[in-house]
Structure 1
Amino acid sequence: MQASVRNLCPMIRWSVNISRTITSSSVALNKANESNLDPIQKLYLEKVRAYAKKSKASSGAMVDPNPQILKEIEQETIKLNRLYGGGDMTQFPEFQFNEINFEEK
């Protein structure tokens, strides 16, 4: 029984090494040969790269907001100000806790 397990161990190690090699080489090949991608993969990569470029240019703001989305955000902000008493909704609130005097009679 032990001999058969010892015989399998090199095979398992070999298969793990081969799968790691295939995986890492396929990633390297995909980066090098983007011309071999199908049209849908190319389009997806182009859109992701364009969004990343626009996102960096906008420095944290929304990318290509349309007027309807901006109007909805403004309406929700007004509603939250009305419900929770206004203030700056972009900052974390400051809490003040008063010391309780337990020795009062």
Structure 2
Amino acid sequence: MILHQILRLSSIFRSAISIQLRRNIGFSAIVFNKTKELDPVQKLFLDKIREYNTKSKQAGGPVDAGPEFQKDMNESLARLQRAYGEGDLTKFPEFKFEEPNFEETPK
């Protein structure tokens, strides 16, 4: 009986310790990735993404998009509006459901 309780308590402690170690290992991996220096290719890639992000925010849309791209984009939006009901495509549609009328039949 006592041996059974000791084994049960040891399994509880073992699971608690393993969860704590798992958390610490996961946290230390995140900290290690943030503190380690990026290799030059990764750094260049991230710099280009950040540069594109700032350019697109300044331009208010796609960067280096010519008139042909704008024309295609406007045609696609017009086609979508025709297909999905002339509404604003940037908002989630509002659905209106009618309550069903149930009739009770006498028994």
Q: Aligned equivalents of 2:52 and 2:5: distance in 1?
A: 57
| Alignment-derived partner of residue 53 in structure 1 | 54
| Alignment-derived partner of residue 16 in structure 1 | 19
Q: Aligned equivalents of 2:56 and 2:35: distance in 1?
A: 25
How much has 1:45 moved relative to structure 2? 3.0
Query: What is the one-letter code of the residue matched to 1:54?
Result: K
Structure 2, unaligned stretches of length 5 or more?
92-107
Deviation per residue, 1:16-75 (Å, 9 max, x gap): 111111111221121122x2x4555444433443344334434xx323152232111222
Q: Normalising to structure 2: TM-score of the pair? A: 0.52
- Cα RMSD (Å): 3.4
Structure 1, unaligned stretches of length 5 or more?
93-105
| Alignment-derived partner of residue 73 in structure 2 | 73
Determine whether 1:31 maps to 2:45: no
Determine helix, strand or coil for the equivalent of 1:66: coil
Q: 1:42 to 1:24 in 2, by over 3 A?
A: same
| Alignment-derived partner of residue 4 in structure 1 | 7
Q: Aligned equivalents of 2:8 and 2:34: distance in 1?
A: 39
Q: Aligned equivalents of 1:80 and 1:54: distance in 2?
A: 28
Query: What is the one-letter code of the residue matched to 1:8?
Result: S
Q: 1:91 to 1:8 in 2, by over 3 A?
A: closer
| Alignment-derived partner of residue 102 in structure 1 | none
| Alignment-derived partner of residue 61 in structure 2 | 62
Pairs aligned (count): 85
% identity of equivalent residues: 26
